[in-house]
Amino acid sequence: MDLCSRKTVVFLVLAFAFASKGYAQDAAPLVPAIISFGDSSVDVGNNNHLLTYFKANYPPYGRDFINHQPTGRFCDGKLVTDFTADTLGFKTYAPAYLSPQATRKNLLIGANFASAGSGYDGNTSIINHAISLTHQLQYYREYQSKLAKLAGRKQSASIIKDAIYIVGAGSGDFLQNYYAKPSLNKVYTPEQYSSMLVKSFSSFIKNLYGLGARKFGVTSLPPLGCFPAARILFGNHGRGCVSRINIAAQQFNKKVNSSASNLQKQLPGLKIVIFDIFKPLFELVQSPSKFGFVEATRSCCGTGTTKRTVFLCNQKSARTCPNASQYVFWDSVHPSEAANKVIADEMIVQGFALI
């Protein structure tokens, strides 16, 4: 689907959604809250408050965001979840749970528990000194108690039930853990490791369901082998996507889709959509000019050369592109704001059933 057609479909989907709910232009959002879990793809600043290497609270991160300030988002501007919140009618974004902004009425529109460097594999979080999904779940229980005190038990229960829960994880499990550790990839095949991750995913969804969550939007793995970091660390001197890593990502995506289908059969009232972000991002990489991009193999923001520094934007980097909207990737593992917008539009179309 080209850019024009994609925008038309998104407009029609949203027009129908607003009309069917009888919403005026300035009415409340289509859902009461957005609650997010996962890794750097959805972290909006929790890692700012951790002793970890994986931080994005310094320039040039955030240079195209509101007030051109870094917030902890691993991007030059908005994340996919920010665009999703905009599209659903939110005027502000759910705060990072560990931030000073996570108080009082700010919590009524949700909270973000994600932590860069986290993953479905608990060891990924340990390696990166990130908040594990298990710990994110503990914070969520704490959030529920705060919400009940703020809004009362009846309203808080309604918010919990009708909120959209976004889960974005798995990339770090492969790039920062499995492929980086011979002790893992020599013992488990990618398919075996995928099965372990999907088992963790299923358990996580069941735990959230037990706490009242009903509507889930879960991102698939992107084409990890096309990330600049993967090209540099695991490819042929950066030439072309690393096919074996893309195949592993697709194996995982197939398994997580199957798991989601089984969960919906097991758990009454559960709605879960696995957002396919592999295809739209792969299309951007393969045909960037079709979507208005110029560069899809290198990142806008310069990186280091060691395994530890290649993943992120180097604060003292001499090379940062003048126009990030021309680049598919902002740093070596995260899309630019412009690419996130394309992915977010695709997610809105796929996730219409959750609205």
Residues designated as active site? 40, 331, 334
Q: Which amino acid is at 160?
A: I
Contact between 230 and 242 (Cβ < 8 Å): yes
Q: Would you put residue 66 in left (φ > 0), alpha (ψ -120 to 50) or beta?
A: beta
List alpha helices for 113-210, DSSP H.
122-128, 133-151, 153-162, 171-172, 182-185, 190-210
Q: Cα separation of 61 and 315, whole Å?
A: 9
Token code pair at residue 65: 């965001």
Sheet (strand 164-168) strand order: 110-112, 34-38, 164-168, 215-219, 271-275
Angle, in degrees to the nearest 10, between helices 80-87 and 337-350: 50
Distance linking the first and last C-alpha atoms of the chain: 23
